[in-house]
Amino acid sequence: MNKQSNTYTILYSAIMVVVVGAVLALTYMALKPKQDENIANDKRMQILSAVHIAAHDGDVKSVYDKYVTESFVVNVEGKEVAGDAFAVNMAAEVKKSEKAERALPVFVCHLNDGSVKYILPVYGAGLWGPIWGYVAVEADGTTVYGAYFSHQGETPGLGAEIAKPDFQNQFSGKELYKDGKFRSIDVMKAGQKPADNADYVNAISGGTVTSKGVEAMLKSCLSDYSAFLNQLKNGKTK
């Protein structure tokens, strides 16, 4: 075949595309299990962070399995339903207009002192993209033990501060019920207080939109868990 012909050029290009495509596909298939495991371990580290447990890359799964001994899914009525809590995509769940259709994961953590914490995922919107996190609640169903938040693209030094301990540590000890009613936690500018007696934390200076995004995320997501939390509060669930 004439190597200078158009036919040869087209045929050669087609073969190279097939070969390169096959190599890329095989590489993807070979690496996917490791990529999936890395994603899962990152999620495990975030869940553990909500209960102030640190884990390193090599032992994330073993540390997670030691402390997070159980997980399940509930609905907005607080009833356990079928589903894999770890596999639930909160980004998809919060978009469901019918709250009754939402799957709400619960992760149960047993600490070394024998105490039990219930870790609840939250998902919302910041200034430039999605924000998300996990809130750990005491077995009394009302007191926050710890919180972890992260983001996709908030501004460094401003909204991105939600991922820093100085902001997250404010949530420890806050109450989700006031005067017998579910109140969530407000995020307020310094010097301001909620009008409804809800517990609150200080907003990030210069990061008002992201701070209010955290507040809205907590109110939206944690209110979905209010029936489950009320059961904990009244000692009517595991």
pLDDT digits (tens, 9 = 90+) for 199-232: 999 999 999 999 999 999 999 999 999 999 999 9
Residue 44 lies in a domain: no
Answer yes or no: are the C-beta atoms of 212 and 219 closer than 8 Å. Answer: no
Mean pLDDT of the chain: 92
Give me the long-range contacts of 3-10 (CB less than 8 A, separation at least 24).
none
For residue 7, what pLDDT is reported? 74
For residue 4, what pLDDT is reported? 67
Residue 74 lies in a domain: yes
Residue 19 lies in a domain: no
Q: How many domains are there within the chain?
A: 1
Residue 83's domain spans which residues? 69-233
pLDDT in tens, 16-46: 888 777 777 777 677 666 777 889 999 999 9
**Any residues with CB less than 8 A from the CB of 40 and at least 6 apart, and which?**
61, 86
Mean pLDDT of 174-202: 92
For residue 15, what pLDDT is reported? 82
Residue at 148: amino acid letter: Y
**Any residues with CB less than 8 A from the CB of 208 and at least 6 apart, and which?**
189
Residue 29 lies in a domain: no
Residue 118 lies in a domain: yes
pTM tops 0.95: no
Q: How confident is the model at residue 108 (pLDDT cuts 50, 70, 90)?
A: very high
Strands (E), the chain: 68-74, 80-81, 104-110, 116-125, 130-138, 144-151, 177-178, 181-182, 185-188, 199-202
Answer yes or no: are the C-beta atoms of 63 and 215 closer than 8 Å. Answer: no
Residue 207 lies in a domain: yes
d(CA 115, CA 95): 33
Q: Which residue has the higher pLDDT, 176 or 235?
A: 176
Residue 37 lies in a domain: no
Mean pLDDT of 56-79: 94
Residue 168 lies in a domain: yes
3-class DSSP state for residue 199?
Answer: strand
Q: What is the CA radius of gyration of the chain?
A: 23
For residue 237, what pLDDT is reported? 65
